[in-house]
Structure 1
Amino acid sequence: MAALIVVGAPSQNGGRRVSVMRRGREDFLGTAFSEQDVIVFLEASGLSDPEEVLDDPRWVRWSGGRVWHPSPYSG
């Protein structure tokens, strides 16, 4: 099974595109600036206990690795 949730590689502003595959199409959930943002997006999309799946490559593909870079806009 391919990962259902994709966390994109960090962009220049530090955000990562988060999407989920549903019914054969990719739905954009939002741009995450932290792991907590990813959790919030997944909860809002109906996934119960999203923290449980973040380490599972059957569920989540971390493009560019599970690394967070500070946003250049954060003070």
Structure 2
Amino acid sequence: MINASNKTKLVVCLSGGTIVKGSLNIRKYNRLSDYLNSQEADHFLTIYDAAMTGSKDKVVIINRNHIVWATPEK
């Protein structure tokens, strides 16, 4: 599990239309957008407590090149 102080809930839409909801460790950043636009962001995002259409997995690993949009979940 990741430290709650570095975790943000998000919703991600992938190029194939799949929607993924879960939590992402944004490290030292306060906002999801700051982390995603940083040079420190990995090529693959590890989404914890993930849920997506037709599946509920604990962890989903997403290639950043397939992200159409991402938004913090309220």
TM-score by length of 2: 0.29
Larger Rg: 1
TM-score by length of 1: 0.29
